[in-house]
Amino acid sequence: MTDEPRADVVARLRAAGCVFAEEEAGLLVEAATSVTGVDEAKLESLVEQRVAGIPLEHLVGWAEFAGLRIAVGNGVFVPRRRTEFLAAQAIEAARTAHPVVVDLCCGTGAVAAAIGAALPAAELIASDIDPDATRYASLNLAERGSVFTGDLFDALPPWLLGRVEILVANAPYVPTDDIATMPSEARVHEHRVALDGGADGLDLQRRIIAGAARWLAPQATVLIETSARQADTTLQLLRDAGFDAHAEYSEEHEATVALGRAGA
């Protein structure tokens, strides 16, 4: 077995405060293993970096999301399991088996990839302002979708105007002043542009909701991950923009998604 936790690695990770030390040790050993066995120098380097606080996913090069292995690396936002709920809601909202789906602020493209896995005929478009993120999104979506780099809707090709049936966004929604209280794995090792949602956390959501209409097909659905605390404001923004809006919550995922349905 290549992924059996090694007691020495487990002990070092546990001492460094890793809650899932056994699982992480198995993954680091796996990452340091090739057909010739465990590369001890590589394993040592990985353990040292993990003990120093580098996110596990950046070290092993992937994160699990909706049953998929999503490639991720230095500086790029690690897709959170919570966001599987956003992808599930988008899949449920699809009115046909082949919707045109845009994943705005896509990061690694995890949400689009999960939607694509469930709806193989969906047309997937993903975009992000951070070229490091879109590099990973291009890997994760490969031939399954188109990936663009740029500021929100500016990144999208004009042929999408009026054609988007599912617009999904897990945009940054952490209020600027709350970033200081985030775990260092996020605060130090993920680009600030992936976290900072402005004074009340909703700057990006405001811009997305305000700019969405001209890109949407009739009866399109906009789905935005938000927090339980911010959900009422996200819903109000959707309603003010003319959407029929409601929120869905998942206790299992500790997740909140605001959904807005466009008119006919």
Ligand X SMILES: C[S@@+](CC[C@H](N)C(=O)[O-])C[C@H]1O[C@@H](n2cnc3c(N)ncnc32)[C@H](O)[C@@H]1O
Binding site for ligand X (CB under 6 A): 77, 79, 83, 105-108, 110-111, 128-130, 133, 151-152, 170-172, 193-194, 204
CA distances from residue 41 to 45, 47, 184, 208 in whole angstroms, order as listed: 6, 10, 26, 46
Token code pair at residue 165? 């049936």
Q: Cβ closer to ligand X: 25 or 56?
A: 56
Q: Cβ closer to ligand X: 14 or 82?
A: 82
How far, rounded to the nearest angstrom, does the alpha carbon of residue 172 sit from its chain's CA centroid? Answer: 10
Q: Decide: 128 and 149 in contact? Cβ < 8 Å.
A: yes
Give every CB contact of residue 163 below 8 A, 6+ residues apart in sequence.
Answer: 100, 215, 217
How far apart are CB 2 and ligand X at their closest, in Å?
28
Cα–Cα distance for residue pair 105/171, rounded to 1 Å: 5
How far apart are CB 161 and ligand X at their closest, in Å?
18
Q: Cβ closer to ligand X: 59 or 170?
A: 170
Give every CB contact of residue 31 below 8 A, 6+ residues apart in sequence.
Answer: 42, 46, 59, 60, 61
Residue nearest to ligand X (CB): 107
Sign of the CA dihedral with 208 first, then 67, 115, and 133 last: positive
Q: Cβ closer to ligand X: 43 or 152?
A: 152
Q: Cβ closer to ligand X: 70 or 245?
A: 70
How far apart are CB 152 and ligand X at their closest, in Å?
4
